Amino acid sequence: MYGVNKGMDFTDEGFTLLSFLPDQEQGLNLLPVYSVISRLFSSLSPDIIFYRILRFILLISGTLVFTLGFSAWLNRNLSGFPAITLPMLFPINAILILGSYSVFYSSLSYNSLTLFIILCLSGLFFKLISGSDGNRKQTSFLLIASGFLSYILLLIKFPTALLWTFFLLLIAGYCFTTKKLQLKSLLLYMLLFITGVTLAAGLIGVCTISPVTLVRNYISSAALLPDHDLARLATIYLDDLNKNFIKPVISQKILLAGTILLWIFFRFQKLFLFKIVFLAEILWLAVSTVKNDYFKAGASHLYTASSIYIQAVTLILLLVVFVLADRKSRINIFSCTADLERYSAGCVLLLVIPFMCSAGTNNPLSIHITQFLFSWSVLIFISARMLFSKLNLKSLIPLLFMLMICVNLTFQLWHGYIHSPFRIDLPLTRQQYQATHIQRSASLKFDYETSCFLDSLGQLLKHNNRFQQGQSILSLNSLPGLVYLMGGISPAAPWFFDSGYPNHDEVNCNLLSRSQYPVFKNTIILKRTNEPVSPHFIECLNQKGISYPAGYTMNDSLKLPHRNEWMLICFPVNRQVNPDRSTDYID
């Protein structure tokens, strides 16, 4: 909560905040949840601070749901362990989950909403497999609630919703084929789940968007994003898995050799040697983390923020694989589980959550999973604890292992949230100045150079164009946050793609052609001074009544803060008044 009013990311965070505005067109309509949230909270006139606080409240609420289900699952499926209580587990899970603040921006977004829903769904799933099937009312509620939230997840991130449903089908199919679940019970469970989906679809359909429209929008819009097609995404994911998951593990000889030694000493019950090697592995991970800056996060270290977790979970998983390969070791390690299938299902879910939540992004997985790594931290701890329990070791080494992960997470949170926040040029401690001449920044504080830039931008609006709140502003330099702060909206879509995006002119023209915005002639245009607008896009602008460049002044430019780059602010010469808009002018 320290940085709730400090700084702002003008790129992705600006896109999200624009998407929450009631009058903002959504363009591709791939994130209908923004329209739902906008209608839900419109009466409160929410601003950036509201959405930052809302994110925190949702994550804490999701953590509570997850902890309730997870603790029930642990106590039900692991024997020989002290009972896990909510006061004991909740603070740990809260720290792990709030670690998502170390990467990306602080406002509520589709990623943080995905995390919230997955926390709730995982908590319900753990509760369901913890032995609640004897209580029909509770089981019915859990299944209906899971179906309801699964449809909400479809509004937020449909690839994750599809993968979550596929995971549930795999679990149901396994239970049916192994006679753990009778056909009658399976059909009843599916009916209850579908009931929850239907309730959510009906409620959302009445309030905002129908399921048919939702599917139609996904199909029509996905074709417009050339870097999100399945072939390209598969290439990005496979390359990243090879570069950041497989090769780093194979190249770590100490990690592989140590894992083999751990299995040998586990197999032959060499307790002292097992402890020595495990301590050596922890020390090696700690040294590697410091040496390679794995403890840092934020925009400057997105590509390395997940490295320590990848190596730690690999150590545990390889050890478990070796143990599973040997019958005696396998019987020994799983004798502490009350129900092997229920335990395995929970562990598999914890393993795949980061990948499941990252599906659909065109970023490398090693970057995107950093927002969802709480599940790996939990998996590391319970796996290490179980291994040591079967060696009859009353040792603090598993706690030391988890402590290393928590210390690393704490440093990442400090570095990525306070010292090097996502796309905010200076630390939060330097965000001390208000910009008083810009529409939507009254509650925010910026660093000195950024506040001066925003004040200068506000003065330009005042003296060059009698700006009306809600007027259209077209950002062609990937800074929708400026559109938000200026008090405008972006015509057609909250984000227009720059020259770095494949077929950006074609995509941008398509967005403009879909727009129902009433007055385009008043549109202000923001662009880089050194990047000309293509003739093709100029033609698209002219077709929508934006007479660029002939009908615009090209005299006003400002240097972007902390960059060697200038922004040109193009004002329309002949401005028309739209009586439907507010007459509140910027002072």
Instruction: Examine residue 535 and say whether the peptide bond preceding it is cis (omega within 30 degrees of 0).
Output: no
Contact 341, 133 (CB under 8 A): no
Strands 552-559 and 473-475: unpaired
pTM of the predicted protein model: 0.90
pLDDT at residue 501 above 90? no
* Rounded distance between C-alpha atoms, residue 526 and residue 561, angstroms: 15
User: Does 49 or 248 have the greater pLDDT score?
Assistant: 49
pLDDT at residue 584 above 50? no
Burial class (CB in 10 A: 0-12, 13-18, 19+), 238: exposed
* Rounded distance between C-alpha atoms, residue 427 and residue 6, angstroms: 9
pLDDT at residue 348 above 60? yes
Q: What are phi and psi of 551, to 5 degrees?
A: -95, 25
pLDDT at residue 52 above 50? yes
Place of tokens 């140590």: 258
pLDDT tens digits for range 65-87: 999 999 888 887 766 555 567 77
Q: What's the confidence (pLDDT) of residue 75?
A: 81
Q: How confident is the model at residue 587 (pLDDT cuts 50, 70, 90)?
A: very low
Output the six-digit token pair for 143.
């299944």
Q: What angle do CA 45, 46, 49 make, to 5 degrees?
A: 145
Contact 320, 335 (CB under 8 A): no
DSSP at 445: B
pLDDT at residue 146 above 80? yes
Q: What are phi and psi of 447, to 5 degrees?
A: -70, 165
Q: How confident is the model at residue 351 (pLDDT cuts 50, 70, 90)?
A: very high
* Rounded distance between C-alpha atoms, residue 119 and residue 67, angstroms: 9
Which residues, 6+ apart, have CB-to-CB distance to 464 below 8 Å? 553, 556, 569, 571
* Rounded distance between C-alpha atoms, residue 193 and residue 567, angstroms: 52
Q: Which amino acid, one-letter code, is at 149?
A: L
Contact 204, 154 (CB under 8 A): no
Q: Which of 167-181, 377-391, 453-467, 502-516 has the lowest mean pLDDT?
A: 377-391
Strands 552-559 and 566-572: antiparallel
* Rounded distance between C-alpha atoms, residue 377 and residue 255, angstroms: 18
Average pLDDT, the chain: 84
CA-wise closest residue to 488 among 466, 475, 471: 471
* Rounded distance between C-alpha atoms, residue 372 and residue 121, angstroms: 14
Q: Which of 148-152, 262-266, 371-375 has the lowest mean pLDDT?
A: 262-266
pLDDT tens digits for range 448-481: 999 999 999 988 888 876 677 788 899 998 899 9
* Rounded distance between C-alpha atoms, residue 20 and residue 279, angstroms: 49
Place of tokens 């909250």: 494
Q: Which amino acid, one-letter code, is at 586?
A: I
Place of tokens 């909206």: 489
Output the six-digit token pair for 426.
């200076």
* Rounded distance between C-alpha atoms, residue 317 and residue 323, angstroms: 10
Q: What are phi and psi of 78, to 5 degrees?
A: -120, 115
Burial class (CB in 10 A: 0-12, 13-18, 19+), 204: buried
Output the six-digit token pair for 485.
């702060």
CA-wise closest residue to 36 among 152, 190, 182, 165: 152
Q: Please give the biggest Cα pair distance in the chain.
A: 85
* Rounded distance between C-alpha atoms, residue 569 and residue 475, angstroms: 10
Average pLDDT over residues 43-68: 93
* Rounded distance between C-alpha atoms, residue 50 and residue 52, angstroms: 5
Measured in Å, how far apart are the chain's first and last C-alpha atoms? 30
* Rounded distance between C-alpha atoms, residue 33 and residue 42, angstroms: 14
Place of tokens 């020259």: 499
